[in-house]
Amino acid sequence: MPARSHASSLQISRETRERFVAATEAVIEPVAHAISERLVALASQTGNARDMQENRDGFLAFQSHGAA
């Protein structure tokens, strides 16, 4: 089997990265939406003060980093 040229290897690597990014982009928004909904549900639950605060903190942290 002939060895691939350096340029060919670079091309394959670039195409693989592009496919990975395209596939990942397709699932990021639905997953982020599902996480947000779950965090909202948790933040709305009543319970002991510590759990309620942790749930609110988790929701706020997710919201603050959501755009990133």
Give 9-56 pLDDT, tens digit per residue: 999 999 999 999 999 998 998 999 999 999 999 999 999 999 999 999
Domain boundaries, the chain: 6-65
The SS3 call for residue 61 is helix
How far is the C-alpha of 7 from the C-alpha of 29, rounded, in Å?
A: 34
For the entire predicted model, the pTM comes to 0.65
Query: In the structure, what pLDDT confidence band is assigned to residue 7 with cuts at 50, 70 and 90?
Result: confident
